[in-house]
């Protein structure tokens, strides 16, 4: 620097007023309630919407009790609210509530409703599930079927076990989803997780009972209606029925509808079903991304490998 050069005046960093960051919004929602409505609108399953709506309502209430909203809550606030969702619940249930809350927060951030995704900083501790303890034997499934209180309930257990269906998939079945196939079998079209459609072929012995139960019901009618008529059963009603049948038959009282699905997978594999057929029949996802697009091949349904003696009257 020469003598004639004058040093450039430096502006102190502290003197520069930072401009506040503003998220670019991609939603018309202006309140937390409106954002939740937008979030739920993207879910196709009524049962899923109901579960997520209940969790979101509780989550927002826990924040509101502290005078907070999604936009004003800190990471610590969100963590404490998520912990509050699971108070008194089993570890697996706590994990589900936490994942739903985190999903809402991710949606809010993705759409620019909030500046920061506080849920991303919250670690979810999942519950450990011993699947081996949730698999009923073939004898227990047979006893459960025979202890069903009504013909409808017996058929529901048979279809749930033979098709390896989730309880939400089971109660959502309409007669338009039931298609007669060759050899006395029926194919049921099932809308599973992620709104993925798969087709499951049922054994002939179950198919005959299913078709015989229809009567003059229209295509739009639920396959398993509630006693109120026209409305499908609720999952909790199915589980209450199963526990009553379990108590009557002496089967493990902890049984739930999901045990039928576990039993299907275990029993069909034991009897020689191809693991790929089992995965596709149950709609299981795989590590490979493309596996979510796989659908069951009705000609090779793993349900056909089950012992038909279980269903005989």
Domain boundary among 91, 121, 151: 121
The pair of three-digit structure tokens given for residue 223, joined into one six-digit string: 């396959």
Q: Which of 94, 100, 199, 261 is catalytic?
A: 261
Domain boundary among 95, 121, 147: 121
Q: Quick check: is 102 catalytic?
A: no
On whether both 225 and 251 belong to a single domain, the answer is: yes
Q: Which of 51, 193, 248, 279 is catalytic?
A: 193
Q: Is 1 helix (H, G, I), strand (E, B) or coil?
A: coil
Nearest 5°: phi and psi at 99? -65, -35
Q: Which residues contact 263 (CB under 8 A, 6 or more apart)?
A: 135, 136, 138, 141, 161
Query: Residue 289's pLDDT is what?
Result: 25
On whether both 260 and 139 belong to a single domain, the answer is: yes
On whether both 220 and 200 belong to a single domain, the answer is: yes
Q: Which of 102, 166, 262, 267 is catalytic?
A: 166
On whether both 207 and 255 belong to a single domain, the answer is: yes
How many CA atoms does the CB half-sphere of 297 hold within 13 Å? 7
Are 96 and 124 in contact by the 8 Å Cβ rule? The answer is no
Task: List, run by run, the mean pLDDT of 10-residue segments along the chain (313 residues).
Answer: 49 43 75 94 80 92 94 93 86 83 90 91 64 72 92 95 92 95 93 85 95 93 86 90 90 86 82 79 55 39 81 73
- Give the closest residue to 192 by CA, choosing from 291, 99, 56, 267: 291
By residue range, what is the domain housing residue 168? Answer: 131-310
The pair of three-digit structure tokens given for residue 15, joined into one six-digit string: 């003197």
Q: Which of 191, 258, 279, 295 is catalytic?
A: 258
Q: Quick check: is 261 catalytic?
A: yes
Domain boundary among 103, 121, 139: 121
CA distances from 144 to 45, 121, 137, 153 (A): 29, 45, 11, 10
CA distances from 287 to 124, 131, 166, 292, 293 (A): 21, 19, 21, 9, 12
CATH code of the domain in which 252 resides:
1.10.443.10
**Is 139 inside a domain boundary?**
yes
Bridge partners (DSSP) listed for residue 180: 186
- Give the closest residue to 52 by CA, choosing from 37, 42, 40, 70: 40
Q: Quick check: is 109 catalytic?
A: no
| Torsion sign (Cα): 249, 255, 258, 263 | negative
Q: Quick check: is 262 catalytic?
A: no
Q: Which of 71, 146, 196, 284 is catalytic?
A: 284
On whether both 183 and 248 belong to a single domain, the answer is: yes
Query: Residue 301's pLDDT is what?
Result: 74
Query: pTM for the complete prediction?
Result: 0.58
**DSSP 8-state code for residue 305:** G
On whether both 46 and 160 belong to a single domain, the answer is: no
Query: Residue 19's pLDDT is what?
Result: 42
Are 105 and 118 in contact by the 8 Å Cβ rule? The answer is yes
On whether both 184 and 230 belong to a single domain, the answer is: yes
């Amino acid at each position: 620097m020469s003598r004639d050069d004058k040093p450039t005046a430096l502006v102190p960093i502290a003197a520069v007023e930072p401009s506040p960051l503003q998220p670019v919004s991609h939603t018309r929602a202006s309140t937390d309630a409106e954002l939740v409505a937008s979030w739920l609108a993207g879910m196709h399953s009524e049962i899923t919407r109901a579960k997520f709506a209940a969790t979101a309502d509780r989550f927002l209430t826990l924040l509101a009790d502290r005078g907070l909203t999604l936009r004003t809550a800190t990471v610590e606030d969100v963590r404490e609210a998520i912990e509050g969702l699971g108070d008194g619940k089993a570890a697996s249930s706590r994990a589900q509530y936490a994942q739903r809350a985190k999903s809402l927060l991710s949606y809010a951030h993705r759409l620019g409703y909030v500046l920061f995704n506080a849920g991303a900083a919250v670690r979810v501790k999942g519950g450990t599930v011993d699947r081996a303890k949730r698999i009923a034997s073939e004898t227990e499934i047979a006893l459960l079927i025979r202890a069903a209180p009504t013909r409808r309930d017996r058929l529901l257990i048979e279809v749930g076990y033979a098709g390896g269906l989730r309880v939400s998939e089971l109660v959502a079945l309409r007669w338009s989803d039931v298609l007669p196939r060759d050899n006395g079998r029926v194919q049921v079209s099932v809308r599973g997780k992620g709104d993925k459609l798969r087709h499951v072929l049922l054994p002939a012995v179950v198919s005959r009972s299913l078709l015989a139960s229809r009567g003059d019901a229209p295509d739009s009618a639920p396959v398993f209606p509630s006693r109120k008529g026209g409305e499908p059963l609720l999952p909790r009603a199915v589980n209450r029925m199963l526990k009553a049948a379990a108590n009557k038959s002496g089967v493990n009282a902890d049984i739930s509808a999901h045990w039928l699905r576990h039993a299907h997978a275990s029993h069909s594999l034991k009897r020689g079903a191809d693991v790929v057929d089992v995965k596709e029949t149950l709609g299981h996802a795989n590590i490979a991304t493309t596996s979510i697009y796989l659908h069951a091949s009705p000609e090779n349904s793993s349900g056909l490998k089950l012992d038909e003696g279980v269903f005989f009257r």
